[in-house]
Amino acid sequence: MALQSKMTVYVALAGVLAMMGGIVYYASLDNVHLNQVEVQLTSVELIDVNTMDNQASFDVTFLVKNPSDKTLTVSLINYQLYGDEKSLGSGLYSTADITMPGRAAFFPNTEIPLKNIFVLSKSEVGAEIYQSAIENKINNFSAEGVITTESTWSLIEKEFKTGF
């Protein structure tokens, strides 16, 4: 009797481990689709200049495309912004604190513009770059960073580099 109950425990344990392995395998099937996401920087527009704090706010817009046949959401876009190839600083678009049903759903073959406020500080970039930025004298903007996309079962981080 003792041998039979030990065997039952071993079989149950093996069954649980096999089921967990199946879940991990099933979740990884979405990674190929999530990795197809495309990010394009479409605009950087000055929206406010705070002369007291020597800071300027910019509206940064990324066009995110989902060419795959899986629905996904974007929880993070962590990026470094450049103006005329000079670093302006880092920014973060985040919906990580919003549950998946509350985020923008990227259905198959859709594209959605995601906007983010980027704050440029004169003390961090220097007077010359700051002045160029607030006078709209920067000709080329670019961004590079990491986008985090999620499906119901999976999450991936993908590096990107884009500019206009």
Residues 119 and 88: their CA atoms lie apart, in Å, by 9
Which fold is adopted by the domain 2-163? Answer: Immunoglobulin-like (2.60.40)
Q: Considering the entire predicted model, what is its pTM?
A: 0.81
Domain boundaries, the chain: 2-163
Q: What is the pLDDT of residue 22?
A: 81
CA 128 to the chain's CA centroid:
30
Mean pLDDT by 10 residues, the chain (164 residues): 75 89 74 90 94 93 95 95 94 90 91 96 91 91 96 90 92
Q: What is the pLDDT of residue 32?
A: 85
Helices (H), 29-163: 31-34, 122-125, 127-134
Q: What is the pLDDT of residue 2?
A: 63
User: Which amino acid would we find at residue 160?
Assistant: F
Q: Nearest CA to 126 among 45, 51, 54? A: 54
